[in-house]
Amino acid sequence: MDQPDSTTDRTMRLARYLAHSGVASRRAAEGLIRAGRVQVDGEVVTDPATAVGKGQEVKFDGGAISPEEREVWVLNKPRDVVSTASEPGSRRPVTDLIDSPRRLYPVGRLDADSTGLILLTNDGDLANLLTHPRYEVPKTYRVVLRRPVTDDDVSRLAGGVELEDGPTAPAQVERTSEFELLITIHEGRNRQVRRMAEAVGNQVDSLRRLRFGPLELGDLDLGESRKLTTREIDSLWEYAREMEKRS
């Protein structure tokens, strides 16, 4: 997969145009197009391979869209902030914490009770590579548990535990204090680390994501964010492509 650029005056397939416009990943965009939600020059188009170029008007759900400059942000998510682009309830979505005019959305999920690193971007292709289960992008968490961690707990968590949706893959587990672990997983199941703790008879008091792929949280305070530089985005793409090759 080629890295997208910010060029808007060349012809591209409609699905890629939507991805460049921050609507969805290219794969998800194909479904949106087939569902009749996209218009080109006033006509509904259902073929994702339709070529579009400069000067053509493209609309999604009635609103005009166009390719945007690629942006990737790192956010230190606070508790009670949800990892969605919009929230129908009373809790704030992560997008509210990013100062950008772009149409950003979170890369993967971090549950509302957890804090730490989450990425937001308008690059649907990159988001898809970083979250696709096949590519097994690692994520590292600092986990504080309610009861002391035993050697048996560490061994079981590292080897994989049985959950209601199947056994977990092996993980990297390091005990850093009596009640604290560093856990690196390569899966993205819902509330996985919390359920892993419950599977060994423990419960999570706090969970903070420190690392996502090659990116670290660093010294960002809760609620703070920073925009990745062009060099950092290029490096992230190189990492994502390497993970794709290994799969």
111, 165, 205, 221: the active-site residue: 111
Residue ranges making up the domain that contains 33: 12-65
The whole-model pTM stands at: 0.81
Q: Are residues 208 and 220 in the same domain?
A: no
Question: Is there a single domain that holds both residue 144 and residue 207?
Answer: yes
Same domain, 179 and 147: yes
Per-residue pLDDT at 4: 46
Count structural domains, the chain: 3
- State the pLDDT at residue 7: 42
Q: Is 42 exposed, middle or buried (0-12, 13-18, 19+ CB in 10 A)?
A: exposed
Question: pLDDT digit of tens for each residue in the chain (247 aa)?
Answer: 444 444 444 688 999 899 888 888 788 899 999 999 999 999 999 999 999 988 899 999 999 998 888 899 999 999 999 998 766 667 899 999 999 988 898 999 999 999 999 999 988 889 888 998 889 999 999 999 999 999 999 999 999 999 999 999 999 999 999 999 999 999 989 999 999 999 999 999 999 999 999 999 999 999 999 999 999 999 999 999 999 888 7
In a domain, 1, yes or no: no
Whether 206 and 155 share a structural domain: yes
- Choosing from 29, 48, 65, the residue where a domain stops is 65
- CB contact at 8 A, 19 and 4: yes
Residue 146 pLDDT:
97
- Tell me which long-range contacts 23-29 makes (C-beta under 8 A, separation of at least 24): 23/60, 23/65, 23/103, 23/124, 24/124, 25/124, 25/125, 25/127, 25/128, 26/124, 26/125, 26/128, 27/128, 28/124, 28/128, 29/124
User: What is the per-residue pLDDT for 197?
Assistant: 97
Residues 85, 61 within the same domain: no
Tokens of 135: 């590519």
Judgement on whether residues 144 and 203 belong to the same structural domain of the protein: yes
Q: Are residues 208 and 219 in the same domain?
A: no
Angle between helices 230-246 and 124-131 (to 10 degrees): 50
- For residue 221, tell me if it sits in a domain: yes
Backbone φ and ψ for 125, nearest 5 degrees, come out as: -65, -45
- Contact (CB, 8 A) for 193 and 173: no
From 23, 45, 65, the end of a domain falls on 65
Residue 6 inside a domain? The answer is: no
Beta strands 63-65; 43-44: pairing state: unpaired
- Please indicate, yes or no, whether residues 91 and 147 belong to a single structural domain of this protein: no
Residue 111 is a catalytic residue: yes
Q: Residue 238 is part of a domain; what is its CATH number?
A: 3.30.70.580
Cβ contacts of 43 within 8 Å, gap of 6 or more = none
103 & 150 share domain: no
